[in-house]
Structures are given as C-alpha cells and as structure tokens.
Amino acid sequence: MMDRVRDFLAAARRSIADKLAIAVSFACLVHCLLLPVAVALIPAAGGLAELPESLHLMTFAVALPISAAAIVAGYRRHGALLPGAVAGIGLGLIGIGAIAGFAVLIETSVTVLGSLLLAAAHLVNWRSRLRAASGSPA
C-alpha cells in the first residue's frame, strides 16, 4: 500500500514539473508574440511595456532547471530519447535568443521556435510517461 502511495506522489511531482515547464514555455511565447504587437498597436503603451533586457536571460535561467528536471524524470520512467533531444534543441534556441544579441525580429523568431519546441518536448515527455505508467507500448 505504501509503495502505491509513494509511486502516486512521485508521478504527481513529475507531472507538475512538466506542466510548470509547459506553462513557462507558453508564457515566453505569449511575451515574444503579443508584447511587440501590443506596443506596435498602442504606441502610448510602449513606455509601460518596456521590460529589462535581462528578463530573457532570467526566463531562460528559470526554464533550464525546470525543463531538465522534468525531462530527466520522464526519461527515467519511459526511456524515450526524443523528449530530451527536442527539449535540448528548444532550450538551446531560447538560450541563443537570450544571449546572442540578434536584431529583434531574429531574436523573437529564434526564441519563439525554441519555446514551441520546448513545449512540444514536454508534451511528448508527459504522454510518454503516461504510456509507460499504463503499460502501453510507446
């Protein structure tokens, strides 16, 4: 009985990590896509919407350990390499966007692509973990 409770709690923690990582990816995506549109459509909001450039680096610093923990926990459960590979590419693109100092359009494009890949990796990780827990084939 205690083993089942322990397994349930461990699965809940892993699920929370993937969901949190998906939420962070989505928040990054919203920031990258909607903030420039809002500033362009409402010029007076430009001053209100200015965020420090370090926000990108801080977001990357938050996404990296959360994503790594969720992907590694999932791998230990399901053994699939795809989520980790896609997450690595996504995190790499987000990091490049945060650090490289590209023009705004390039930075946004690289970061959005990285965020989409990272969110997809977490969805695949989550589904793979569910399949492994239910005993279904991958």
Enumerate the domain spans of the chain: 2-134
Q: Give me the numbers of helices (H) and strands (E) for the chain, helices first please.
A: 4, 0
Mean pLDDT per 10-residue section of the chain, whose length is 138 residues: 64 69 72 59 54 77 87 90 95 90 83 88 87 74
73: how many CB neighbours lie within 10 A of its CB?
A: 19
pLDDT score of 28: 67
* Cα gap 89→50, rounded to integer Å: 28
DSSP symbol at 48: T
Tens-digit pLDDT profile for residues 37-54: 555 555 555 555 555 677
pLDDT score of 96: 93
Nearest residue to 8 (alpha-carbon basis) of 16, 122, 125, 69: 16
Phi, psi of 113 (to 5 degrees): -60, -45
pLDDT score of 19: 77
pTM exceeds cut of 0.85: no
